Amino acid sequence: MLKKILKTGGVFFLILLVSCDKEALNERLLPEAQGKPGELFIVMDSIQWKGDLGQALRNILLTSVPGLPQDEPSFKIHYIEPTKFKSFLKQVTNILFVATLDSKTKGGVTVRNYITRKYIEDNPDKYRISQQDVYAKNQTVLYLFSATQDKLLDRINENEAFVRDYFNQVEKKRVIQKLFKSGEKKGITEVLLKKHHFHMRIPNGYRLEDNVPGFVWIRQPGTADGTIDKNIFITSQVYSNESIFKKEQIVAWRNQITREKIFEDPEMIGSYMETDTIHIPVAYKSIELGGNFAKEIRGIWKTHTNGIGGPYLGYAVLDKASNTVFYIDGFVVSPGKPKRESMRELEAIISTFKTQSQAEAIQAKKKKTP
């Protein structure tokens, strides 16, 4: 009897081992997802793509990125007819499937099979699900579905920003992963925490351009071959009242700092940076940054001499524990070049911001973990 139990147990263990090995093997066999930053492939019935449903998605995904001097769409979208969605197209980074039960075309039936009719019928209250690494590693797939085209159109219009914001977050995470894959400037991060009382991860390629009490400037200089000049500066002040979070106050604070610290040519006192509020209105909204209350502004800057200009994004962030407001600003110098992905990179870096108390709490937790 004991021999039989041991034999049975051995077989069970072998099956479990083979199963685990198979899962690990499948994961290893998946190719790496391919695609340029900001690309999105949409798979849906061609008639629906040309109609109201497709137009609603185009309106959402081709919305211009706020705060850029030239119009640049949120995403570069590619339409794929469902019967042609095969081979290398399955290996792209971002895929959006759109399906409804009332589509009777071959393409409509084909795309529906990626979600299954039964799932759509069994989940009438749902209209979206997402999956990772379906056909390739580091791939994101979003499914939009409903019983009818009209119902799906209503859900999309009711949640207009969802698809755009969802893939924006995906792209930001992907940027962070890529940025820090080759290492980071931990020495700069230590300076930021010890001297300026906040934490931020800084990727390789960036350097400290200026570092004085109350102000720090981090920069990846542009090069002669056309590399974009990317910059982040941070300042702070004691929190006195909530008026500091008004749009006009944040812009005034930004102008005060850039007039003193940022110049096209330090030898020319009149070449200081200032916020251009005439050509493009300043975009303004409430957000959370690193779990902290914040206000975001986006717009364009120029030098006072009108020599150069470009986009910026800024965050006024409240550190409750120290009663401090930080202002964090990212801007690029990139005459005549697309700027969407450079600004996404700066946004990704800034998103790693933590207050000193938050950073210390994370470190304390790590020390306790065995």
Task: Please give the mean pLDDT across all residues of the chain.
Answer: 90
- pLDDT of 23: 46
Given a cut of 80, is residue 369 above it in pLDDT?
no
Same domain, 166 and 203: no
Contact 262/272 with Cβ under 8 angstroms? yes
pLDDT tier for residue 75 given thresholds of 50, 70 and 90: very high
Domain count, the chain: 2
Q: 129, 152, 178 — which closes off a domain?
A: 178
Contact 217/210 with Cβ under 8 angstroms? yes
Task: Give the three-class secondary structure for 69.
Answer: coil
Strands (E), the chain: 39-43, 76-80, 94-100, 128-132, 140-146, 198-199, 207-212, 215-220, 229-238, 273-276, 283-289, 292-303, 309-319, 324-333, 354-355
**Is residue 360 within a helix (H) or strand (E), and if so which, with residue range?**
helix 356-368
Least confident of 18-22, 161-165, 183-187, 310-314: 18-22
**Helices and strands counted in the chain (H then E):** 11, 15
Q: Is residue 3 part of a domain?
A: no
- For the segment 14-67, what is each residue's pLDDT rounded down to a tens digit? 344 444 444 454 555 899 999 999 999 999 999 999 999 999 999 999 999 999
Domain that residue 89 falls in:
39-178
pLDDT tier for residue 268 given thresholds of 50, 70 and 90: confident
Given a cut of 50, is residue 6 above it in pLDDT?
no
Question: Token pair of 3, please?
Answer: 């021999």
CATH number at residue 347: 3.40.1000.10
- pLDDT of 370: 65
Q: State how far the Cα of 160 lies from the Cα of 285, in Å rounded to an integer.
A: 17
Q: State how far the Cα of 239 lies from the Cα of 235, in Å rounded to an integer.
A: 13
- For the segment 207-259, what is each residue's pLDDT rounded down to a tens digit? 999 999 999 999 999 876 778 999 999 999 999 999 999 999 999 999 999 99
- pLDDT of 14: 39
Mean pLDDT of 118-132: 93
Q: 121, 146, 178 — which closes off a domain?
A: 178
Contact 99/108 with Cβ under 8 angstroms? yes
Same domain, 245 and 317: yes
Mean pLDDT of 327-347: 94
Q: State how far the Cα of 370 lies from the Cα of 348, in Å rounded to an integer.
A: 30
Given a cut of 80, is residue 194 above it in pLDDT?
yes
Mean pLDDT of 334-360: 95
Residue 9 class from Cβ within 10 Å (0-12 exposed, 13-18 middle, 19+ buried)?
Answer: exposed
Same domain, 118 and 48: yes
